[in-house]
Structure 1
């Protein structure tokens, strides 16, 4: 099974490709707000996943050292999602709201795809 740092590194690469596709879609289609919404949502979603990876490291260290377990940062990630939606609501001429919400879920879709590909590769070995 892949560790979280490896998954996060793969997600960053996928995010850069997604942002490049969003830039092309923003520049060359008649739906620039949709692509801008996906891009901002994906950036905030990746930030949320980074927070989760960082908090999981602290959680693992706390458990291994026998200390009290801290929170996994759900409030911070929830606040970040609210910020992405607030930007899309405040600036509807630049960002499409539904696309921003879909963009927030992109890192989790990448996560499921990565786990699926990893399990298929390991099954063949």
Structure 2
């Protein structure tokens, strides 16, 4: 479980870097809605990953104690993803829907890259 926390810490750092790039893109390019959509999607995606980390901790504790865990928070993460898309749909002048969906997937892409990096590191 410590690896998941380490990965989440790395993702938070990458999120701040990505948000800085989105702010620069929002100010200095003619596509502010795309960069704001990526930013809001990445924020909700990181929130979803935080929920997953928190629920995995709870699951590990309940498994260690011999209790049953109810869920891993799929409903809450799904509702958060719906909110990440509902905001751009309701405010199309400020956010792009497609870029917010792409931004929602960015933390999972970071997770995949981190897993590949970890795999390559252990093979050496």
Q: What TM-score, normalized by structure 2, do the two folds share? A: 0.97
Separation (CA, whole Å) in 1 of partners of 2:120 and 2:24: 32
C-alpha contact (below 8 Å) 1:2/1:118 kept by paired residues? no
Counterpart residue number, 1:30: 30
Runs of 5+ consecutive residues of structure 1 not aligned to the other structure = none
- Alpha-carbon RMSD across the aligned residues, in angstroms, is 1.2
Count of paired positions: 124
- Residue 120 of structure 1 deviates from its aligned partner by 1.1
Task: Please list, as runs of the form range in 1=range in 2, the aligned pairs for 1:42-61 lying within 5 A after superposition.
Answer: 42-61=42-61
- Residue 118 of structure 1 deviates from its aligned partner by 1.2
Separation (CA, whole Å) in 2 of partners of 1:9 and 1:19: 15
Partner secondary structure for residue 93 of structure 1: coil
Counterpart residue number, 1:95: 95
Separation (CA, whole Å) in 2 of partners of 1:98 and 1:119: 31
Q: What TM-score, normalized by structure 1, do the two folds share? A: 0.96
Q: Which runs of 4+ in 1 moved over 6 A?
A: none
Counterpart residue number, 2:119: 119
What do the CA deviations read for 1:56-108 (whole angstroms, capped 9, x no partner)?
Answer: 00000111101112200000000000011110000000000000000000000
